[in-house]
Chains A and B, each alone.
Chain A
Amino acid sequence: MAMKTYEYPKGREWFNRATKVIPSGIYGHLGPAEGNFIPVTSFPLMGDHAQGAYFWDVDGNRFIDYMCAYGPNVLGYNDPDVDKAAKEQMKKGNLFTSPSYKMVELAELMVDTVASADWAFFAKNGNDVTTGAILTARAATHRKKIVFVNGFYHGVSPWTQKIDYPGILPEDVANNLYIDWNDFDQLQRVFDENKGEIAAFISTPYLHGNYFDNVLPADGYWQKVRELCTENGTVLIVDDVRAGFRLDIAGSDHFYGFEADLICFCKAIANGYNVSCLCGKDFLKSAASSLSYTGSYWYSAVPFAAGIACIEKMKKLDTPKMFKEKAIKLTDGLKAAAANNGFNLVVSGEPALFYLRVADDDTFFIHQDWIQECVRRGVFFAGHHNHFMNAALTDEDIAFTLEVADDAFKAIRPKYK
């Protein structure tokens, strides 16, 4: 018997209220206009509460959440150990005139944990630390140009955006150079053409962009990049905001066998408590010290305490190993469900951040149809974004996900004979 599907009348009411007082109702990556909610009527718009691997929307629908708030949920929503540490710190105080010693404890833990780190600098969001990394690189090298990999996302500051984005001036991106992922020869050429001018090469550890299958680094790619940057006095920045701690507790550069000069973390540091961290090599510490760079809430102690508890627990559970095993079990099951119904599901990227695409048409209409049928049955996948594993996901959740995936494929089969 086909599964019951969800409806969202209260979510719609809340969204309509939101549009009256908030630009576009829900802006940014959680918003329905980002291209992942197709059609929007099949997706929950407003949440009510969350626990473990699930969240519930305002209509009372439960979802197994494979987006994990786009990454921060790494141990499970409301993890008791992280929440306990946060509550204890809250009793002592969160933000006051002197920074809490918890900041030092978390910095020491980051330096002990992240293989390439000699120091740690805290902020709030991923964009804060990617911007901090660029400022540090420019301060250290006194150079202007930055090399990006096409398909990148490094935040929302003007330097991270593109010339055709609303509000962006050509001057904002005038020093940005672009190359293709895994194309070392192209990178070498760009370095040769801009000798002595490139402050930094910034990249995610692998290509986990949206709208296309994710691509892992070619054998030896990162080692060659490392050597090239060193030879040219260019700062190598790894944006590990999305993948950080999910592949390797010591950093994704460590996972791929090289050392970044600067590495940016955010999402998985504190299981939803708001803190981000830029880690760096010793030779860049002075440049980082010289920056005029701070924020009203960057010294909040509660997220520092939560971060310490979260990192300790990730180490104890060996979450990268757990994520890989669970994700392979899940994605193998999803591929089998597709094949059993005559579809071809492609899974790409690292298992802990798996990316899905139903490959039976180039237009994504079939893919989008299957995704929305899964969501309406209580499994929250995003249309064109990598997913995230969390430690609260159980084998029963995976089994239920596979039932939903099968039912969703069966639901769309008649339309695509």
Chain B
Amino acid sequence: MTDSKTLAFIKMYAIFGTLENLCELDENARALLKNKKPISIGFEVKDGPAATIYFKNGYCRMEDGCSPNCTIKLPFSSCEKFNGMIDGTVTPVPTKGLVHIGFLLNSFIPLTDLLTKYLRPDPEDLKDEAFFELSTKLMFYLITVALSQIGNHDAIGSFSADHIVDGNILMKIEGGPEATIMVHKHHMVTVKRNIGNTTALMAFKGIKLARDLFDGNVNAVACIGEGTILMGGNISMIDNVNRILDRVALYLA
């Protein structure tokens, strides 16, 4: 009960989009990009997402749309092909910037491998406190962005989004990362920080709890009763977001 188009949007904005946070939070990621000329990769998926990732001084940022000025362009004839590239079953062929293939092979792929290490962690790695914290923060960004993509593109997720009124839903891990889901006319956009004007709030009490939730080790409904997930404001918005969250696990499984 998932579809490849929604999955492509998740892979583009939630997975590749989390590279921004990886570079921000992990010096090993920055090291992969250091002493390199500014470079950009444009992704264009037919009947699917398009975005450009800009790399500069060890950091990166994603912008919507495949920029005509991108250094490297990777087009995909379908969402399935794009998804296959991320799963490692499809080899992309650049239509622009072939001379920068070295960046793709020596910087971009190691960077995505590093991201995978944090997003699909080895249980042993999670015993390291710093790794655990960074991995959980990145998971938080991944999930909050995936949530909007599912609300906008998945058939059942859109049904939930259609029941969300306009406003800003603040999601946060207390003492950790925050994200705002902006809803306007049932379209959802995730901003990976607290932008204020909060209409509804969902807060996880601490990074350990967030991890347990993400890993399915604790139940969100029980946590609300226990007071380890706090909610407030327009509860109807939270109620519908929770229904979409249920589908995030399905897509990210």
If A33-B225, A39-B227 touch, does A363 touch B198 (CB 8 Å cutoff)? yes
B195 interfacial contact with A, CB 8 Å = no
Interface 9-mer from B24-32, B91-99, B228-236: B228-236
- Chain B residues numbered 190-209 whose CB sits less than 8 Å from any CB in chain A: 198-200
Question: How far apart sit A383 and B233, CA to CA, in the bound complex (Å)?
Answer: 10
A32 interfacial contact with B, CB 8 Å = yes
Question: Would you give the 0/1 interface string for A197-213, flagging 1 where the beta carbon is closer than 8 Å to chain B?
Answer: 00000000000001110
Q: Which residues of A are found within 8 Å of B221, using beta-carbon distances?
A: 23-24, 27, 31, 33
Q: Which residues of B are found within 8 Å of A155, using beta-carbon distances?
A: none
- Chain B residues numbered 144-188 whose CB sits less than 8 Å from any CB in chain A: 156-157, 159-160, 167
**B160 nearest CB neighbor, chain A only:** A164
- Nearest chain B CB to A155's CB is how many angstroms away? 18
B232 to A368, Cβ gap below 8 A? yes
A25 to B222, Cβ gap below 8 A? yes
B219 to A24, Cβ gap below 8 A? yes
Question: Would you give the 0/1 interface string for A152-194, flagging 1 where the beta carbon is closer than 8 Å to chain B?
Answer: 0000000000111110001000000000000000000000000
Q: Which of B224, B232, B234 contacts A32 (CB 8 A)?
A: B224
- Nearest chain B CB to A360's CB is how many angstroms away? 14
Q: How many B residues face the partner with a CB closer than 8 A?
A: 29
Question: How far apart sit A26 and B159, CA to CA, in the bound complex (Å)?
Answer: 28
B215 interfacial contact with A, CB 8 Å = no
Question: How far apart sit A23 and B235, CA to CA, in the bound complex (Å)?
Answer: 21
A-B residue pair count with CB separations less than 8 angstroms = 84
Q: Which of B156, B157, B222 contacts A19 (CB 8 A)?
A: B222
Q: Which of A16, A165, A364 contacts B233 (CB 8 A)?
A: A364
B235 to A38, Cβ gap below 8 A? yes
B226 interfacial contact with A, CB 8 Å = yes
B157 to A211, Cβ gap below 8 A? no
Q: Which residues of B are found within 8 Å of A368, using beta-carbon distances?
A: 232-233
Q: Which residues of A are found within 8 Å of B247, using beta-carbon distances?
A: 164
B interface: dominant SS: helix
A15 interfacial contact with B, CB 8 Å = yes
Q: Which residues of B are found within 8 Å of A211, using beta-carbon distances?
A: 234-236
Question: How far apart sit A40 and B199, CA to CA, in the bound complex (Å)?
Answer: 19
B156 to A164, Cβ gap below 8 A? yes
A365 interfacial contact with B, CB 8 Å = yes
**B243 nearest CB neighbor, chain A only:** A164
- Nearest chain B CB to A209's CB is how many angstroms away? 10
If A26-B225, A33-B221, A33-B225 touch, does A165 touch B231 (CB 8 Å cutoff)? no
Q: How many A residues face the partner with a CB closer than 8 A?
A: 33
**A22 nearest CB neighbor, chain B only:** B222
Q: Which residues of B are found within 8 Å of A41, using beta-carbon distances?
A: 227
B199 to A362, Cβ gap below 8 A? yes
A31 to B225, Cβ gap below 8 A? yes
Question: How far apart sit A39 and B232, CA to CA, in the bound complex (Å)?
Answer: 7
B232 to A384, Cβ gap below 8 A? no
- Chain A residues numbered 35-65 whose CB sits less than 8 Å from any CB in chain B: 35, 38-41, 45
Q: Which residues of B are found within 8 Å of A162, using beta-carbon distances?
A: 159
**Which of A23, A35, A166: most chain B CB closer than 10 A?**
A35
B224 to A33, Cβ gap below 8 A? yes
Question: How far apart sit A211 and B237, CA to CA, in the bound complex (Å)?
Answer: 10
Q: Which residues of B are found within 8 Å of A15, using beta-carbon distances?
A: 225-226
**A33 nearest CB neighbor, chain B only:** B224
- Nearest chain B CB to A13's CB is how many angstroms away? 12
Question: How far apart sit A23 and B221, CA to CA, in the bound complex (Å)?
Answer: 9
Q: Which residues of A are found within 8 Å of B236, using beta-carbon distances?
A: 35, 210-212, 384
A165 to B235, Cβ gap below 8 A? no
Which 4 A-B pairs give the minimum distances between C-beta atoms? A35-B235, A33-B224, A24-B221, A211-B236
Given A23-B221, A40-B226, A163-B159, output 10 extra A-B contacts at Cβ < 8 Å: A16-B226, A19-B226, A27-B221, A163-B156, A170-B156, A210-B236, A211-B234, A363-B234, A364-B232, A364-B235
